[in-house]
């Protein structure tokens, strides 16, 4: 009975020792939760622990009052005009939120590191030293280290202005609430409600949105249709001098669009433009290209067709030349006509390859500010519309709301609506297209 009792007691002592050892990970995590770096010191990682302690003492603790002050400014947007600038408080608040996320992330990383190394101690292993930890960081986290400068620059240049412009849509920032003489206030969804449902603003939004959708469809379909038609014609082996013809047709796309649009603005001038002078020579009355809404919209579609079809022609040409000739040879042997070859082979493979590009063109034309603004500045003016002309699309209306009417809050709200429309349509079309299911398409 004595030896058996000794064996049992030895097992109990080992079990208790094992349980005590297993508690090291939890103790290290608790210490690092109380004060950063204490868990690392408990695990014997002196250099790493001292670094975390210094960070906690001189950076994290000292930055908390500043972050709290800026977060309060983000919530209130100021208490006294001329003393508080709501725009600055908004910017400081956004930056403080990002910095607070970084502080919290480092704090969580400190706890996780203490727990993981405590777990190694529980298993009887020795945690990595400081030099080895740095070496492991470079070995395993090298891609993140390389990407981090670009990510920080992207955050500063793109993310911060984007968040700032979105938040403006939830404030009353306009001419009458412009800092520093006045303070801004949070108004929630009031701007969206007024733009979408109230009086002349809602009527203007519906008119501009309707023309924006029509413009996007017309500009995308006409450019692709003409480009595809010309590319298919030039793909015919019986046509000679293909290279010369393609070179001539690609000139409109090779010339900078800014220059071409301004040239067309002069050519379509109602009084002295070359187009109306040519029509007068043919006995056709002058067309009010920029004074009548219908003709102004027609001019936009035609000029966009001139600028956009060469790009689609080149894309379609490349796709046509990549289609295997064996498919057409097999169709010819089966007695297929030219129209049947086009409908059953050329068109499906063409749309299959062009679908993502068409979605991109649709999104681009939805926000094609350059053509609208440079050709006729969104005119002609329409009575009763809130700053929008007869050819203004949503993005050009946003520009006028910002710089002409100083309705920054409405401009931001409409910009957010534009983003939701484009993102929703793009996601929907990408999910429905078969362009990413090549295996099924070619079976």
Per-residue pLDDT tens over the stretch 204-249: 999 999 999 999 999 999 999 999 999 988 888 888 888 888 888 8
Q: What is the DSSP string of 127-156?
A: PP-HHHHHHHHHHHSHHHHHHHHHHHHHII
The mean pLDDT of 328-335, rounded to a whole number, is 84
Q: Could you give the CA distance from residue 124 to residue 129 in angstroms, rounded to a whole number?
A: 15
pLDDT-based confidence at residue 68 (cuts at 50, 70, 90)? very high
* Cα–Cα distances in angstroms (integers) from residue 365 to residues 185, 360, 362, in the given order: 35, 9, 5
Phi/psi of residue 389, each to 5°? -90, -175
pLDDT at 190: 95
For the cut 50, the answer to whether the pLDDT of residue 11 exceeds it is: no
**Confidence (pTM):** 0.83
pLDDT-based confidence at residue 174 (cuts at 50, 70, 90)? very high
pLDDT at 58: 92
pLDDT at 434: 57
The mean pLDDT of 81-109, rounded to a whole number, is 94
Q: Which of 103, 102, 112, 110 is nearest to 151 (CA)?
A: 102
Buried b (16+ CB within 10 A) or exposed e, 181-204: ebbbeebeeebbebbbeeeebeeb
Name, in order, each residue with C-beta under 8 angstroms of 168's C-beta and a sequence gap of 6 or more: 90, 408, 409, 412
* Cα–Cα distances in angstroms (integers) from residue 295 to residues 270, 282, 291, 373, 391, in the given order: 11, 19, 8, 16, 10
Chain center to CA of 438: 26
Indicate the range of 39-43, 123-127, 167-171, 231-235 predicted with least confidence: 123-127
Which comes out higher in pLDDT, residue 37 or 24?
37
Q: By three-state DSSP, how is residue 184 classified?
A: coil
411: left (phi over 0), alpha (psi -120 to 50) or beta: alpha
pLDDT at 139: 76
Q: What is the mean pLDDT of the chain?
A: 87
For the cut 50, the answer to whether the pLDDT of residue 441 exceeds it is: no
pLDDT at 423: 86
24-34 and 86-122 helices, crossing angle to 10°: 160
Q: What is the pLDDT of residues 363-407, one digit of tens each?
A: 899 999 999 999 999 999 998 889 899 999 999 999 999 999 999
For the chain, domains (ranges, CATH) are: 11-188 (no CATH), 191-441 (1.10.3720.10)
Beta carbons of 317 and 239 less than 8 angstroms apart: no
**Residue 365: exposed, middle, or buried by beta-carbon count in 10 A (0-12, 13-18, 19+)?**
buried
pLDDT at 8: 44
199-234 and 293-322 helices, crossing angle to 10°: 40
pLDDT-based confidence at residue 266 (cuts at 50, 70, 90)? very high
For the cut 70, the answer to whether the pLDDT of residue 331 exceeds it is: yes
For the cut 70, the answer to whether the pLDDT of residue 438 exceeds it is: no
pLDDT at 437: 52
pLDDT at 22: 58
Number of Cβ within 10 Å of residue 35's Cβ equals 15
């Amino acid at each position: 009975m004595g030896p058996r009792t000794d064996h049992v007691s030895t097992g109990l002592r080992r079990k208790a020792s094992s349980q005590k050892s297993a508690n090291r990970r939890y103790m290290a995590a608790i210490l690092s939760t109380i004060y950063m770096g204490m868990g690392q010191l408990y695990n014997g990682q002196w250099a790493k622990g001292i670094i975390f302690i210094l960070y906690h003492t001189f950076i994290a603790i000292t930055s908390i009052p500043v972050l709290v002050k800026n977060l309060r400014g983000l919530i209130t947007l100021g208490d006294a005009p001329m003393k508080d600038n709501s725009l600055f408080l908004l910017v400081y608040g956004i930056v403080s939120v990002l910095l607070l996320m970084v502080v919290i992330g480092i704090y969580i990383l400190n706890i996780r590191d203490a727990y993981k190394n405590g777990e190694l101690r529980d298993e009887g292993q020795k945690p990595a030293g400081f030099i080895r930890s740095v070496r492991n960081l470079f070995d395993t986290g090298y891609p993140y280290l390389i990407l981090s400068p670009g990510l920080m620059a992207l955050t500063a240049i793109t993310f911060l202005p984007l968040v700032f412009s979105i938040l403006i849509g939830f404030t009353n920032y306009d001419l009458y609430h412009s800092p520093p003489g006045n303070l801004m206030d949070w108004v929630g969804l009031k701007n969206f409600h007024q733009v979408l449902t109230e009086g002349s603003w809602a009527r203007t939004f519906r008119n501009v949105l309707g023309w924006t959708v029509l413009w996007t469809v017309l500009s995308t379909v006409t450019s692709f249709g003409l480009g595809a038609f010309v590319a298919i014609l030039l793909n015919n082996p019986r046509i000679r001098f293909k290279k010369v013809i393609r070179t001539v047709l690609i000139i409109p796309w090779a010339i900078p669009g800014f220059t071409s649009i301004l040239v067309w603005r002069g050519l379509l001038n109602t009084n002295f433009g070359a187009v109306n002078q040519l029509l007068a020579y043919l006995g056709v009355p002058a067309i009010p290209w920029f004074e009548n809404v219908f003709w102004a919209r027609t001019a936009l579609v035609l000029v966009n067709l001139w600028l956009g079809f060469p790009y689609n022609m080149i894309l379609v040409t490349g796709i046509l030349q990549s289609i295997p000739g064996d498919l057409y040879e097999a169709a010819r042997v089966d007695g297929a006509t030219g129209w049947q070859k086009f409908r059953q082979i050329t068109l499906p493979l063409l749309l299959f390859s062009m679908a993502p590009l068409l979605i991109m063109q649709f999104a681009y034309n939805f926000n094609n500010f350059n053509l609208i603004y440079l050709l006729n500045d969104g005119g002609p003016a329409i009575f009763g519309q809130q700053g929008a002309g007869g050819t203004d699309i949503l993005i050009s209306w946003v520009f006028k709301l910002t710089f002409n009417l100083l309705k920054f809050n409405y401009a931001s709200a409409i910009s957010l609506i534009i983003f939701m429309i484009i993102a929703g349509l793009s996601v929907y079309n990408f999910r429905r297209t078969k362009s990413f299911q090549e295996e099924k398409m070619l079976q």
